[in-house]
Structure 1
Amino acid sequence: MEGIGQAADGWEAALATALLGADRAPTGLAGAPLEPWGEPGPASDPGATLLARLAGHGVRHLAGRALAPGLLVPAEPRPPAGPECPSAAAARLALLLSGGARDRLAEWCGLAAAAGVRAPPWLVPALAAHRADLAEAVGRIAGSELAWLDRACADNPAEAAEPVSGDWSEGSPSERRTAFLAVRADAPEAARAALEAAFRTEKAEIRQSLVAALEVGLSEADAPFLEICLDDRASGVRAAAQRLLSRLPRSLLASRMAARAQAALAITAKRRLFGGTTHALAVTLPEESPMLARDGVEPRAYERRGGGTGAGLLREILGAAPLHAFAEHPPRLWIELALRSEWSDPIIEGFLAAVRREGDADWARALATVLGEAHAGRLSGVRPTDPLREVWARAAGLLPAAEWERLVEAAFRGGEAETILAHLGHGPAAFSERFTAAHLDWLAAVTRGARADRDALARSWMIDRLAERAHPDAEAAASAAALLARLPDETPEDPDGRLRRQVARLAETLELRAAMRREFEPFTIAAENARA
């Protein structure tokens, strides 16, 4: 206590000297020397002496000596949230945090969470810097530790320890959204009812944020309120409501879109003279209207300028319509007739958007099958083109992952490089072990093949994408390294070595990802055994 009192007395004297001016202050006002430094600075330079004295007081304050004993509250013990990761994995995390490799850092967090281990305490403060861009990933392996650290470093630890309030009516927009999401996750209907009651009094920014938050626990019960939001004076609120209503196939908006789609597209049947039936697609282009705009259907600016308003509206309506609007006929018939229509582009694009939104596997299979036949020249009345190949690849990308991999594996065995590259631009974000091996085998064959195929491969940057999507085991890393070893540094057709640099990055990335998995292996095996 004596040392603290002396520090406080010395501070008051130094402050008075600073206010009066170092040259004008009475002799001795600055107080006794500060231990352990003694009198700082030469007596002939009172300004330097004062600055040194203030610096000494600052060091004392930072060390906690200027604080009253009652303010020195020890932090609460940190309860362990789980076993720490292996030392090799911790060292890897330290390297990733210092190197700024965001993708690898997110992957490390995912591996740690799958293994059921936590980040080491000495790296938790560094992970705090990534809570904004990798909130979910970091929260899974250091969430409770970071919460403890926040409380320990808060100005008022008692207030920081209080749980988040369920009252979302107060605070900043982000705090209110967070509180509302917590209520919504716990009681969806009660949260929506509370929002409805106070909705009209809120500012546009808050209304938009909270309507968008209804995505958590979204159900058909939310449709009436979202329907009201379509008339909101704020465009952001209207757009949020339109986006959510399009995911509710039984909403009033979905019913209106279904009726518009059925008015725009119809299949007519005509009996042949000698038996059988022929089908044709009747297309009626929609026109702009305030009701269409209210439901979020408007042509793009370039379509207005170029005269394609009707086609643009057709695409948007079909993309927003529920697929049950076309249940009168099989998906294959709709797609075949659409491809033979003069309006094939907007119709197929609309179907793709609807299938992507609803995730309907039957429609996805029909699209991939019919478009594949058309690209192969096996669909009468449809000419194979490069744009058709790209649409086929996009449709195949909507298939379940295993089905997409089987389709592309078949292309590996006999397809053109351009067709395979088109497919590899879509599909799942992570490949299976079997497909990774097949992909690397095809890659090796292409690097030994025709120059045109190697050029297409190097231009597409597909190798860099493979590094992120491949199954990164030791075999894949070894295959990539062997492929790199067979490539010359430079060739006449690749003087700058672009292809070799891409393969080098592939080998390096796969080796790094495989090493990361080996570092978690003991815990990963234990976690898998526990699940089994």
Structure 2
Amino acid sequence: MDAADRATDGWEPTLAAALLGAERAPPSQPGPLSALVAESDPAGALLARLAAEGAHHLAGTGLGPEALAPAEPREAVGSECPPAAATRLYGLLTEGHGARGRVEEWFALAAASGLRPPAWLFQALMLHRDSLPATAPAVVGAELDWLARACGEAPAETREAADWTEGTVTERRAAFAAFRARDPEGARAALEPVFRKEKADIREALVHALATGLSPADEPFLEACLDDRAGGVRLAAQRLLPGLPGSRYAGRMAARARAALTIESKRRLLGGTTHTLVVTLPEEAPELARDGVEVNAWERRGGGARAGLLRAILARAPLHAFAEHPPRLWIELALRSEWADPVFHGLFSAAKRTRDPAWTKAMADITAEAYEGKVTGVRRTNEVLGMWAEALDLLPDAEWEARVGALIRARKIEVVLAVLGQGPEHFSEGFSAGLLDWLAFVTRGSDALRRDLAKPWVIARLGDRLWPSDDNAAAAAALLARLPEGEGDRLRTQLAGLTGVLDLRAAIRRDFRPETTTGGTAQG
């Protein structure tokens, strides 16, 4: 501090006054800190002056001139969210992992509204920066980068561009995945010459990271990884190669699938054609093991080794291997076969991997008909019901809702409960209203119906999935309030959880309304 600074520094006069005592101290002189002293008592006022001048005197001690350079201007993006929404976000950030889904929902609403948190929230957001949802950078990323630079930290874009050749296994995998997202070809080209020099765990992690931007150009490298000395590297390549339907790997699997499954067709004398699925179980072989098709210990002990190989081959095969006949015929014959379990689940896994529309629709149609007793030779069992639920889950969200909505209207309680465990992460407004009406119908029914409703524990998760409107939150609260006294804890606990989550989600939306002034409370 130079002489000019000391001249305006009130620390020494105030310290001298304090040593003299409040009775003998001269009155304080006007200065920049005098407005901070509001005490009327002379002794209290003197102590307040001493504290203020002391803080002012010590501020900046030991800092060089470069530390006092002004920060770059902060350019705000968008308008600030309502105070209630800001208060809500602060509460969610401080609640811990249990509120992570709600934080994601908050940022999705902010992004859709073009709103951002106020500056007083930046410190809390910086503390949780690495765990913020994917929508957060669009809302507050630029401002958090500004704050990071002002504090001498690396902004997000710098951290994402970290050198993938250095750091822990997790850091290197993340950095390489970011490299792949920016430049898939360049990333693989940089990896190939140094790959064999890396340790096994690093090689495995980097192969897994090739899932980002996976393309046919990656096939030669991944094919070579099938012969890597490390089992984890081989497994990583075996998981990625089925995603390349034109690869040599896919060709090998297609040939094996065609050798294992064929359809024999015969014309009947009175017209029409009969079809029979002929299954040839594969044998263990080193070539199969190289491609990741091996028998596990459980299958070997249970005597189902070759059936397990069949299921694994079908799961990895490209669906064009079965193009000779329509998907519906393959699935229907699979359900009738003595090898229904490995054949159906193998084909199901292939359909799930590719999301082929024709196969997923056929899966949903045939399993529904099978459970309803409309497929000759297939019994109505809980296993078939489970297959139906899995097949419905492959459909687009709108189609899933349309089909399950029809089941709800038909009051097919057993089936609805089975399929509600899967399906879209979030329901539409119309489907949510219909589902709540159905829940009201079931809860008003018999004790047996309520026990069936509570048994599978699917009700507890519905709060995260239902449309979070005020009307739906009120309907859920009414369901809980009308639950008969003495009802078992299982259903009451689930409905209470549903109601609490749905009410919170509805409140978050109310917070973003302009008339909302306090967290969760709308005025007017």
Shorter-chain TM-score tier: 0.7 to 0.9
User: Normalised by the size of structure 1, how large is the TM-score?
Assistant: 0.81
- TM-score (norm. length: structure 2): 0.82
Task: Give the match's secondary structure for 1:513.
Answer: helix
| Alignment check: 8 A CA contact 1:331 1:366 kept | yes
User: Which of the residues 279, 288, 299 maps onto 1:283?
Assistant: 279
Cα separation, 2, equivalents of 1:336 and 1:36: 97
**What's the secondary structure of 1:504's corresponding residue?**
helix
Q: Aligned with 2:79: secondary structure? A: coil
Aligned to 1:474: 470
CA displacement 1:196-252 (0-9 Å, x = unmatched): 222222222332232222222221121121111111122222222222211111111
Q: Structure 1 pair 485/172, CA: closer, same or farther in 2 (3 Å)?
A: closer
Q: 1:162 to 1:372 in 2, by over 3 A?
A: closer
**d(CA) in 2 for partners of 1:256, 1:62:** 75
TM-superposed deviation, 1:63: 5.3
Residue 318 of structure 1 pairs with residue 322 of structure 2: no
Q: Which residue of 1 aligns with 2:122?
A: 124
Match of 1:453 among 449, 473, 483: 449
| Displacement after TM superposition at 1:158 (Å) | 9.2
Q: Deviations over 1:117-148 (max 9, x none)?
A: 22222222222343344452443433223323
1:274/1:259 CA distance change after superposition, 3 Å: same
Shift, 1:167, TM fit: 5.4
Question: Aligned residue for 1:502?
Answer: 494
Residues 104 and 133 of structure 2 are in contact (CA less than 8 Å); yes or no, is this contact kept in structure 1?
Answer: no
Find 2:112's aligned residue among 105, 114, 120: 114
Give the C-alpha shift of residue 73 in structure 1. Answer: 4.4
Q: Secondary structure at the match of 1:314?
A: helix
Q: How many angstroms does 1:353 deviate by?
A: 0.8
Aligned counterpart, 1:343: 339
Q: Which residue, out of 203, 206, 210, partners 2:202?
A: 206
1:271 — aligned with what? Answer: 267
Deviations 1:10-45 (A, max 9, x none): xxxxxxxxxxxxxxxxxxxxxxxx99999xxxxxxx
Aligned in 2, Cα 1:316/1:37: closer, same or farther, shift over 3 Å? Answer: farther
Structure 1 residues 369 and 164, CA gap change in structure 2 (3 angstroms): closer
Q: Of 146, 171, 182, which aligns to 1:186?
A: 182
SS of corresponding position for 2:116: coil
Evaluate the alpha carbon distance shift between residue 247 and residue 163 of structure 1 in structure 2; reply closer, same or farther with a 3 A threshold. closer
Query: Which residue is equivalent to 1:438?
Result: 434
Q: Which structure would you say has the larger RCO, counting Cα contacts within 8 Å and 6 or more residues apart?
A: 2
**Structure 1 Cα separation of the partners of residues 214 and 155 of structure 2:** 33
Q: Which residue of 2 aligns with 1:511?
A: 503
Separation of aligned partners in 2, 1:239 and 1:259: 21
Q: Could you tell me how far apart the structure 2 residues matched to 1:35 and 1:298 are?
A: 87
Q: Name the % identity.
A: 58
Q: What's the offset of the Cα at 1:379?
A: 1.0
Farther-moved stretch of structure 1 (448-457 vs 317-326): 448-457
Shift in Å, 1:444: 0.3
1:295 aligns with 2:287: no
Are positions 1:368 and 2:367 aligned together?
no
Number of equivalent positions: 469
Shift of the alpha carbon at 1:471?
1.0
- Would the aligned equivalents of 2:144 and 2:155 in 1 still touch at CA under 8 Å? no
Q: Secondary structure at the match of 2:117?
A: coil
Q: Secondary structure at the match of 2:129?
A: coil
Retained in 1: the 8 A contact 2:148–2:154? Answer: no
Higher mean displacement: 345-354 or 509-518: 509-518
Distance 1:149 1:376, change over 3 A: same
Query: Is the CA contact 1:257–1:317 (under 8 Å) kept in the aligned structure 2?
Result: yes
Cα displacement (A) at 1:405: 1.1
Could you tell me how far 1:184 is from its partner in structure 2? 2.4
Aligned equivalents of 1:172, 1:116: Cα separation in 2: 37
RMSD, matched Cα: 2.9
| More off after superposition, 284-293 vs 248-257 | 284-293
- Deviation of 1:77 after TM superposition, in Å, equals 3.0
2:241–2:250 contact (8 Å) kept in structure 1? yes
Q: Is the 8 A contact 1:361 1:400 kept in 2?
A: no
Residue in structure 2 matched with residue 234 of structure 1 by the alignment: 230
With over 3 angstroms needed to count, the CA separation of the structure-2 counterparts of 1:303 and 1:415, relative to structure 1, is farther
CA change 1:451–1:515 in 2 (3 A) is same
Distance 1:184 1:98 in 2: 34
Query: Within 5 A, what are the aligned runs for 1:52-67?
Result: 64-67=60-63
Cα distance, 1:89 vs. partner? 0.7
Distance 1:77 1:127 in 2: 20
Separation in 2 of the partners of 1:117 and 1:349? Answer: 46
One-letter amino acid of the counterpart of residue 508, structure 2: M
Q: Which stretch of the first structure deviates more once superposed, 352-361 or 174-183?
A: 174-183
3-state SS, counterpart of residue 136 of structure 1: coil
SS of equivalent to 2:348? helix
Mapped contact 1:131–1:139 kept (Cα < 8 A): no
1:484 positional shift? 2.4
